[in-house]
Amino acid sequence: MHRILYLLDPLCGWCYGAAPMLDRLMAQEDLAVELIPTGLFADDGAFPMNDAFARHAWESDLRIAQLSGQRFTEEYRLKVLGDRSARVDSGPATLALTAVRLTTPGREWETLKAIQQVRYVDGRDNGDPAVIADVLSGLGLEEAAARFATADDELLSVCRIRIAEGQVQMRHFGARGVPTLIAGDGQSPRMVNASALFGDLDSLMTELKAT
């Protein structure tokens, strides 16, 4: 079994673009893929939506759509990138993923995809805790929804630990952003070029399994 760490942020457009390839990796019986949030847009990384970020994000999103086939709708452009009362904040989504990890770990990837879709396709702000609560309820993740709604010390602590681990991995491998793949464990883990997530599955599998 080959262990793969997938470093991500729920509000990262490139992570959303990589989802089709991650779907295929998740289906490989000889890969164990672990999701690790990095807090890129959480806590001190959060900020109010502004013109410069919205313009940069949309330009990147058009490129991501070309590479991945993922949808970025007009609803998203107008209602999310166009909302100057909103914040770019992945804290709520990261906390929700951690709640799922603690209660129904086998559904964390499904939850991440739903959190991404509600933003980029449905045009709802997934930095809003109410929107995230709707996502959890819509997936039938009632226990996770309850923990998210009244976050206790354990949930908050585990969330902080996961983000810290992601940041340690980023620094250790000199990663400049997400998505980032770390292949292997023990004494020889290595970072895999993120561009491989937008290429050929067989080539990526060969790189992930290389010793």
Query: Residue 179: is the preceding peptide bond cis (ω within 30°)?
Result: yes
What does the alpha-carbon distance between residue 165 and residue 37 come to, in Å, rounded to a whole number? 8
Q: Are 94 and 37 in contact (CB under 8 A)?
A: yes
Strands of 190-192's sheet, edge to edge? Answer: 31-37, 2-8, 180-183, 190-192
Q: Which residue has the tokens 């007009």?
A: 74
Q: Which residue ranges in the chain fall short of pLDDT 70?
A: 186-187, 211
What does the alpha-carbon distance between residue 62 and residue 69 come to, in Å, rounded to a whole number? 10
pTM given for the model: 0.97
Give the pLDDT confidence score for residue 82 in this predicted structure: 98
C-alpha triplet 15, 207, 167: angle, nearest 5°: 45
- For 101-137, write each residue's pLDDT tens digit: 999 999 999 999 999 999 999 999 999 999 999 999 9
Q: What is the dihedral of CA 191, 107, 49, 193, to 10 degrees?
A: 10
What does the alpha-carbon distance between residue 172 and residue 181 come to, in Å, rounded to a whole number? 13
Q: Are 144 and 95 in contact (CB under 8 A)?
A: no
* CA nearest to 95, candidates 141, 50, 155, 26: 155
DSSP per-residue string spanning 173-190? HT--SSSEEEE--TT--E
Cα atoms in the 13 Å half-sphere on the side-chain side of 62: 7
- For 78-108, write each residue's pLDDT tens digit: 999 999 999 999 999 999 999 999 999 999 9
- What domains are there in the chain, each with its CATH number? 2-209 (3.40.30.10)
